[in-house]
Every structure is written in structure tokens, then in C-alpha cells.
Amino acid sequence: MYSLTPPNRDDWEDFLVMCTRRAPENRSVLSGVSAQVEAAYVDYHRQYQKPSRLSAISITKEQSDALKGNFDLFDVGRPFRTLRTQLMAEARNRKCPMCGHRDVATLDHFLPKSVYPEYSALSINLVPVCPYCNNEKGNKLGDAAGRRFVHAYYDTLPEMELLVADVTVDSSVFVTFRIDRPSGFADPLIDNLEYHFKELKLGECFESEAFDELTGRAGMFHYQYANNGGEQGLAAMLSVEAVSERRKAGLNSWRVALYNALARNRDFCSSGFRLLSREDWDF
């Protein structure tokens, strides 16, 4: 999970250009609704914050369909294909900002175009995401409490460990993930982050990935423990992993949370890592 630099576009100019690129019948329909769209563009900053409590502009189905059709101009071979490419290229290491894990492959309408057709081709409403997050988010606007998804362009996550992993060493090594609310931090951003985390099922996703990661690196942990300082050496290596991942993917990456939690867990570093594999590692 990380924030993106907002696209720097003249969105109203883009809309006017889009209208000129449509078939004459759509152009005429769009001109009839352009004043409402212009006002809605100005209002976007307010609209995105509490989408479940606001309504879209009042227009006919024909006008709605014409507005939604503007997004087709982003397809291969169409006039706004370059803008799609530019928006997708902003993703950090090609990773989805909503989960921070999978590769981006599509543009998500932060305010769904089925509900807000006026924002179907507004650059600030188009977030590069992975197909999984796009699908899980669907047309959801938020919940009754006013919580919503985190907006990758507008919501800047504070430089704090908000995604944390809990490691338990028992008959095996168990890892779970959650959103941590720093004490005294009453920012609604954390409420939204909790909603975002739950609705996108990120906990389940990260737990599954953590299992693969740990079992795949069991030999490395054995080697480090045996040859580079035992418990403290292993903890140091895990900390370096966390720092390295942080530089690459940002503080609230699941790997950062995982390696920080492992490095701080004495049960894991002293002997728990041996539970990850039944093999005899002879280093």
C-alpha cells in the first residue's frame, strides 16, 4: 500500500478534446451535459472523500452512456491511449498501490463510472491497479460509517508502521497481518485504511504470500544462524531485509511488516525458524 503522484493534467481541456473525438450524435449529447461535468470536476475533491454519502449528477441514461463512452478513448489505437500508458507508468516498480503486491494491469475508477459517469475519464479518478484489487473493489463506495477505500493520489500515508505482522511460534510459525492504529492517532485515514484492508482481503493475501516466502527461505535462515552469529545474526539479517524492502516498496509493504516482526521475535530467531522446514540443513 503506497501513495502515487497525482497526474498533472488539464482535465477540463481533456474532456473538451474527448468530445471532439466522439461520433456526432454523442458529441451533441455530451455538449448538453458539459456544464454539469465541469462543475463536477471542480467538486471532485469533495466527492471522493465521502462517496457513500453523496450522489452523482442528475442526468439521463443516454447522457450517462455517452459519458462512460469517453473512457473507451483510452483503449488501444484510440486518442487517449497515451494517457493510459502515462498513468500506468506511475506505479512504483509496476506494483499496485492498493495492495503494494501484485503487478498493475488496469485502471480503476476510484469513484465507479457506473455511479459517477461524469468521472469516467477524469485522470485523478483513474488509478493504476492490479486486476484482483480492481475486482474486489468493484462498485463499492464505502460503508455506513463513512469509511472508504484509500485514494492513492489524495491520501498520503504517514511515515509510520501502519501495516504490521504478528508472528507466533508454536507447532509451526504463524503470521497474520493487521492495520495498527498508533496511540493518539485519530486520523480518519486509519479508519479508511482498515476498511480498505478488510474489503480487499489483504490480510489473507499477505498471509499466503508470507507462508511461501518463509518456507522458500528456510535454508537461508539456517545458514545465517549456523554461520553468521546465531540468534543475533539471524535477527540482524532479517532487519536488513526489512530495510532493503522498505527502500524498494515503501514502509507499508507486507514484506517490511513481515521481516520487522521476525527480526523482533526472539522465539523465531532462536529456534522457531527450524519449524519452517523438515529438511536437515547441513551448513
Contacts to Zn ion by CB under 5 A: 96, 98-99, 102, 130, 133
96 or 167: CB nearest Zn ion: 96
Q: 38 or 207: whose CB is closer to Zn ion?
A: 207
- Residues 120 and 113 sit within 8 Å (Cβ to Cβ): yes
> Cα angle at 110 between 104 and 111, to 5 degrees?
155
User: Would you call 277 helix, strand, or coil by DSSP?
Assistant: coil
Coil/strand/helix, residue 103:
strand
**C-alpha cell recorded at residue 41:** 470536476
| Smallest gap from residue 101 Cβ to Zn ion (A) | 6
For residues 41 and 110, which CB has a smaller minimum distance to Zn ion in the complex?
A: 110
Give me the residues paired with residue 126 across strands: 109
| Residue nearer to Zn ion on the CB measure, 131 or 219 | 131
Least distance from Zn ion to the Cβ atom of residue 278, Å: 33
Name which of 148 and 222 has its Cβ closer to Zn ion: 148
Cell of 233: 545474526
Question: What stretch of H or E contains 128?
Answer: strand 126-129
User: Least distance (Å) from Zn ion to the CB of residue 108?
Assistant: 9
CB of 192 to Zn ion, least distance (A): 16
Q: Which is nearer to Zn ion, 96 or 249 (CB)?
A: 96
Cβ at position 96, least distance to Zn ion in Å: 3
Q: Output the smallest distance, CB 32 to Zn ion, in A.
A: 37
Shortest CB 132 distance to Zn ion, Å: 6
Q: How far apart are alpha carbons 253 and 74 in whole angstroms? A: 30
Residue 95, exposed/middle/buried by CB under 10 A (0-12, 13-18, 19+)? buried
Give the residue with the Cβ less far from Zn ion, 14 or 136.
136
Residue 265: which of 161, 168, 162 has the closest Cα? 168
Q: Long-range contact list for 41-49, CB < 8 A, 24+ apart?
A: 41/11, 41/12, 41/15, 41/118, 41/122, 44/111, 44/119, 44/122, 44/124, 44/125, 45/154, 47/111, 47/116, 47/119, 48/110, 48/111, 48/125, 48/151, 48/154, 49/148
